[in-house]
Amino acid sequence: MLSKAPTLEDIKHAQSLTESIVRKTPILTSEYFNELLGMELFFKCENFQKTGSFKIRGATNAVFSLTEEEKKQGVACQSSGNHGGAIACAADLKGVHADIVMAKSVSKAKIHNVKTYNGNMIFCDHMSERDDLFKKVLKKYNRISIHPYDNYSVIAGQGTIGLEICEQLDNFDSVVVPIGGGGLISGISIALKGLGHNAKIIGAEPKNVDDTYQMYSANKRIEMKHRESVADGLMAIVGEYTLPIIQKNVDDIVLATEEEIIDATKEMWERMKIIVEPSCALTLATIIANKEKFQGQKVVLIITGGNVDLVDLPWQKVGKD
């Protein structure tokens, strides 16, 4: 796997290495949202990706880059769900054992995803306990760690989305990308900068989990405690590898409240007839909340996944807590 921050050539290599597995996902448009907001929106739909999220890109690149000896060791990861499903899938394709460490609160849809691809699930009671449990698993079984975002091969795999966008669209002004640990926006930003594209790269975070926004604004790393959001895929704290890339390449970070995220999720379901997670409806929520920043632009929104429990929808939870 890569030992330093990926280049454009590394991302192109990742695209070649993973093309037999990774789908080239469509870009959808919506006249309703365009007219409502006074801009042209282009939804890059990774919810239609294999395993239901963009995570298969980085996971496949990392697993497929292992040596034969490393494959015999097996792999392990910690995940809020989508990365775990993607690692399980990529490992299963190569006959590699995969331990997936997750909190019990992970959605049933994401647990089912891991089971589908024969991942060995190891649960902790709370997200705050996940790091310690993961370290114990690595030490006990000597697995190869594939971090969800602080892994340069994973970042390179996520960057293939940037290559695809440029193949699919002639021109655009901004790309809005959800930030959890920061692997996705890091990869996309490296791809677009490497291609010489002048689009602004905008990060999106929930106000409840705005660690990257705080560190980006302060231009330094700040110790943060775990917090929670309806955007469960974005509760990770930005990585040691990814923060410097974000500070170098990202033009702005915009925020949305929990209510705004839930409203945007519901609107996308109702207006576009596609199933999306709150973690990626966040991009639309932040544009609606900060629409003066995007007026008249052509804006690409990265729709990161669609693994949702259909019997436990986010707008059903309002007022129950």
Name the band, by pLDDT with cuts 50, 70 and 90, for residue 127: confident
**Domain 56-152, second-level architecture:** 3-Layer(aba) Sandwich (3.40)
Does 317 have pLDDT greater than 80?
no
pLDDT value of position 310: 74
Token pair of 67 as six digits: 């040596």
Burial zone of 129 (CB within 10 Å; 0-12 exposed, 13-18 middle, 19+ buried): middle
pLDDT tens digits, 68-78: 999 999 999 99
Q: Which CATH number fits domain 8-53+156-316: 2.60.40.10, 3.30.365.10, 3.40.50.11390, 3.40.50.1100?
A: 3.40.50.1100
pLDDT tens digits, 107-126: 888 899 999 999 999 999 88
Name the band, by pLDDT with cuts 50, 70 and 90, for residue 316: low
Name the band, by pLDDT with cuts 50, 70 and 90, for residue 321: very low
Neighbour order of strands in the sheet with 298-303: 27-28, 40-45, 298-303, 174-178, 200-206, 252-256
33-44: average pLDDT: 98
Is residue 229 within 8 A of residue 258, CB to CB? The reply is yes
List beta partners, residue 200. Answer: 174
Interhelix angle 8-18/55-64, rounded to 10 degrees, is 90
Return the domain boundaries, the chain.
8-53+156-316, 56-152
pLDDT value of position 80: 78
Instruction: Quickly list DSSP for 219-255.
Output: TS---------S-GGG-SPPPTTHHHHHHHH--EEEE
